[in-house]
Structure 1
Amino acid sequence: MKLLVEIYEARGVDHQIVRNALARLKREGYVHSPERSRYSLTKAGMSFLTGINSKPQLLDRRWDGRWLSVLFEVPETERKKRDAFRGDLLQLGFGGLYKSVYISPWDYAAEALRFAEHHGLADRVTMSRGAFVHGAPTPRQATQLWRLDALNETYEKQLAWLRSEFLPVIAAGQIGDSDDGLSAFVRFLELGERMADLSLNDPMLPEELLEEDWLGRTCFGEMQACLTRLANAIPATSPYRHFVSRYL
């Protein structure tokens, strides 16, 4: 807890905000605290974090042309459960093809079923995986279905920020080992959070479903390269080094 507070105070975040955030995550079941000032992820928290971190890996995965379809019918009396389940599907990267019919080119069957069980809706959900005989989404339709135009504008802004604001600071040598790697780690977290936000909103569609002007792959590629650079700028003896080991 002490290290966590130190890291976020270096980012200008008051320690009470950190404590309040941890308390909220505990209430929502994403973390638990076996003893005072010690926290660890629950199964739900690990699942959520794994989902965010694994999404960018889809950029290099080849699509087999098949779709996962999730169909459900939930009465109005259980609207809260239905809306929560729908929100989980959208966060995974599903698109709403029709009312209560959601599709994804990626096989999220296990995750979708886990969410359905969590909301007590497993017996109201049907899933299938295969090719469309007629009416498969085209890139133009996918842009509308997943609202990719707005997301592409976000990527354009993020690329501009990365190239004109973030990278020049790093190039100017404002990170290093003078503070045991803390400044580099703070920058690493700042960029990582932006990537996480993008991952939450991006369905990571395969290239076959994207328009030619799509900027997502370019943006993630440049951000990933920058994360690797920041990770390597943290000294091997730094207490922050093990947090970035997957980028070394």
Structure 2
Amino acid sequence: MIREDATIDAGELYDVAAALGMSDQQVRLCIKRLVAEGRFTQDGRGRQAILRATEPTRSAIEPDLDFLRYMYAQDRGQAAWDGRWHLAAFGVPESVRQARDAMRDTILRLGGAPIQGGLYVSANPWEDRIRSAAAGLGVDDHVTTLTSTDLTIGGLTAGRDLAGHLWPLDRIADGHRRLLAAAERYLPELRTASHIRRLTIAIALAAEFTHANEPDPLLPPQLLPQPWIGTAARAAAAACWAELTKTDAAQSIRLFRWYSPVLG
């Protein structure tokens, strides 16, 4: 809901929240908490208020556009796999458990799959991000990265067999099916929808897009069942974003600006 000038129109916020099943009281409590946490400031009261995102909020909410670009490049056949597996291992001492847990969470968020204790694998280059995360957590001395074209796990050597063993592809595909169904349902409606309805659809679609793609390790086509439902789902979402950019609003929401150059 944040617009180009980093503000949110509270009236629009209440209307969109109502369309998504939230009560006015829930919205008021959310606003109060966000202001108390220093994430927004508020000018005015109730539906006449303007919320302004603080600098920490503005810098924290922008999506990872490099991740989105790579995702769509793969879908278009512009990011060929070189057959290399990228591995990361870490053995962080118990004395810095918080850093160890954060390192593990980072690796999983980057699409890594656990092989065995402290050893993870990805099909995509991730070394720079792994090293950056390790340095930021102060555990770079305890992290190892390497690549291999010869990976065998429990007797499995074929790429698709390994991928099916390492990642929950059926569950990931289910998320993409929900995204595809939502995008196909929303696209015809967007062409005639009101401003508030378009905002509501944008938020619902962004949530579905996140739900589908956060657990997706972005495996290359050689490792996936074909045709892969994720490709169709992301293409349908891109069509919706393209339609959403056709707005006459004086202040379009930032979501459109962030996504449209990547998805369009």
Tell whether 2:235 aligns with 1:221.
Answer: yes
Q: 1:186 to 1:42 in 2, by over 3 A?
A: closer
Instruction: Select which of 128, 131, 134 maps to 2:149.
Output: 131
Q: How does 1:66-105 map to 2 (within 5 A)?
A: 66-105=84-123
Q: Distance in 1 between matches of 2:173 and 2:60?
A: 29
Letter in 2 for 1:166: Y
Q: Distance in 2 between matches of 1:10 and 1:220?
A: 28
1:52 positional shift:
5.4
State whether residues 202 and 244 of structure 2, in contact with CA within 8 Å, keep that contact through their aligned partners in structure 1. yes
Tell whether 2:71 aligns with 1:56.
Answer: yes
Structure 1 range deviating more: 182-191 or 193-202: 182-191
Q: Distance in 1 between matches of 2:63 and 2:190?
A: 30
Q: Distance in 2 between matches of 1:47 and 1:69?
A: 28
Partner of 1:201: 215
Q: How does 1:141-152 map to 2 (within 5 A)?
A: 141-152=162-173
TM-score scaled by structure 1? 0.77
Q: Distance in 1 between matches of 2:139 and 2:58?
A: 19
State whether residues 245 and 256 of structure 2, in contact with CA within 8 Å, keep that contact through their aligned partners in structure 1. yes
Unmatched tracts of structure 1, length 5 or more: 176-180
Give RMSD over aligned pairs: 3.2
Instruction: Select which of 169, 190, 207 maps to 2:204.
Output: 190
State whether residues 179 and 212 of structure 2, in contact with CA within 8 Å, keep that contact through their aligned partners in structure 1. no
Partner of 1:20: 33
Q: Distance in 2 between matches of 1:68 and 1:23?
A: 43
- List per-residue Cα deviations over 1:19-75 (Å, max 9, x = no partner): 535766x6xxxx799xx9442357983786446544533433221222221111123
Q: Distance in 2 between matches of 1:44 and 1:126?
A: 30
1:187 positional shift:
2.0
Give percent identity, aligned residues only: 20
Q: Distance in 1 between matches of 2:151 and 2:134?
A: 27
Partner of 1:178: none
Q: Distance in 2 between matches of 1:201 and 1:170?
A: 27
Q: 1:62 to 1:168 in 2, by over 3 A?
A: same
Q: Distance in 2 between matches of 1:112 and 1:133?
A: 20
State whether residues 55 and 199 of structure 1, in contact with CA within 8 Å, keep that contact through their aligned partners in structure 2. no
1:222 positional shift:
0.8
Q: Distance in 2 between matches of 1:23 and 1:55?
A: 37
Unmatched tracts of structure 2, length 5 or more: 1-5, 42-50
- List per-residue Cα deviations over 1:191-243 (Å, max 9, x = no partner): 122212222111111001102253111111111111111212x11x5211665
Q: Distance in 2 between matches of 1:32 and 1:123?
A: 38
Tell whether 2:233 aligns with 1:230.
Answer: no
TM-score scaled by structure 2? 0.73
Instruction: Select which of 105, 113, 119 maps to 2:137.
Output: 119
Tell whether 2:20 aligns with 1:10.
Answer: no
Q: Distance in 1 between matches of 2:12 and 2:133?
A: 32
Q: 1:147 to 1:137 in 2, by over 3 A?
A: farther
Letter in 1 for 2:237: M
Structure 1 range deviating more: 42-51 or 60-69: 42-51
* Higher RCO (C-alpha 8 Å, min separation 6): 2
